[in-house]
Amino acid sequence: MRARRSRCGPRRVGLKPAARAFPRDRFEWWWPSRPAAEPTSSRGSWRRDSASAGASRWWWKTAPAPRATSGLYGKLPFDINKDFSSITMVGTAPMVVIASPAFPAKTLGQLIEYARARPGAVKFGSSGIGTPVHLAGELMMQLTGIKMVHVPYKGIAPAMTAILAGEIEITYVAVLTGLQHFKAGKLSPLAVAGRSRYPALPDVPTAAEAGLAGYEIDFWYALLGPAGMPAPLVARIQRDAAAILTTPEMKESLLAQGCVAAGGGPEELSTRIRSDYELWGKVIRTAGVKLE
């Protein structure tokens, strides 16, 4: 399994649309000596080797894919906590716990009760071993003590086909991936794995509201620079980005991709990176996840 570009929606959106949402001249104004460029990578959310070497680009980091790979691969050519300068969070896209309409559990609490009473009876599908969807299921089992059977597919599309056909009971997706199916009544959203309810799903509770505290899984986008950026430059870029993120145009652009505008300072972002790195490393070790 190779690291994959995160998606904020049913299509392969990746990083470029999020980068394009920012005015292109901002990159040139923030650091004139560096050519403005959009992040490019066919796999993964950054070009790991060149980014960690201080490449002349602005890099957008998404999770949980990169934070998870830290525990799946051996020694990487970069240190996620040392080789980048955190600037600001840009947007978040929470996962949603979804179930087949035929599944008797209609809430997250009922799912947990059902699975606890029937160890191994519930099958959850994923987009592959070690992917964020797989780890979402592993984290749920670790937090609740329930036992489910993992069914890996080669991508989220076949996993969605499987749950629509009733071959599996549950899976985990970004909001836009399942939104059309929710509206059509073909799939049931049980809970949003975010810190707050998602605008397009106002009646769907968060996992915490449904009784599962600590179950927060989202794809996120952040603005990072090379290690060692001067603090005044980081502060200037963060202030400028914050002003852009509060505009209706930027909020709408991100929401159209299934993301909610975020913000915050570099310390907040660095704390998030560290905590996520520790969380997913623990999940991977506890579950004994190994790439095939």
- Rounded to an integer, the average pLDDT of 196-214 is 95
Distance CA 110, CA 233 (A): 50
- Higher-scoring residue by pLDDT: 180, 15: 180
The pLDDT of residue 64 is: 53
In a 10 Å sphere around its CB, with 0-12 CB exposed, 13-18 middle and 19+ buried, how is residue 132 labelled? buried
**Residue 20 clears pLDDT 90, i.e. is over it:** no
Nearest to 200 by CA among 222, 163, 174, 221: 174
The pLDDT of residue 56 is: 39
Distance CA 39, CA 59 (A): 6
Distance CA 63, CA 240 (A): 23
Distance CA 156, CA 81 (A): 29
Distance CA 84, CA 241 (A): 18
What mean pLDDT value characterizes the chain?
81
Distance CA 61, CA 66 (A): 8
- Higher-scoring residue by pLDDT: 66, 77: 77
Distance CA 160, CA 40 (A): 27
Domains of the chain: 16-92+219-287 (3.40.190.150), 94-193 (3.40.190.10)
- Three-state DSSP state, 26: helix
At residue 220 the predicted structure's pLDDT band, cuts being 50, 70 and 90, is confident
- Spell out where the chain has E strands: 59-61, 84-99, 123-126, 149-152, 170-174, 188-193, 218-226, 260-263
At residue 140 the predicted structure's pLDDT band, cuts being 50, 70 and 90, is very high
The pLDDT of residue 119 is: 98
The pLDDT of residue 247 is: 92
The pLDDT of residue 201 is: 94
- Contact between 112 and 190 under an 8 Å Cβ cutoff? The reply is no
Tens digits of residue pLDDT in 104-138 = 999 999 999 999 999 999 999 999 999 999 999 99
Give the best-scoring range by mean pLDDT among 90-99, 142-151, 173-182, 260-269: 142-151
Give the best-scoring range by mean pLDDT among 28-32, 49-53, 158-162: 158-162
Which tokens hold the place of 126? 């994923």
- Rounded to an integer, the average pLDDT of 63-83 is 63
Q: What percentage of the chain reaches a pLDDT higher than 90? A: 55
Distance CA 36, CA 7 (A): 23
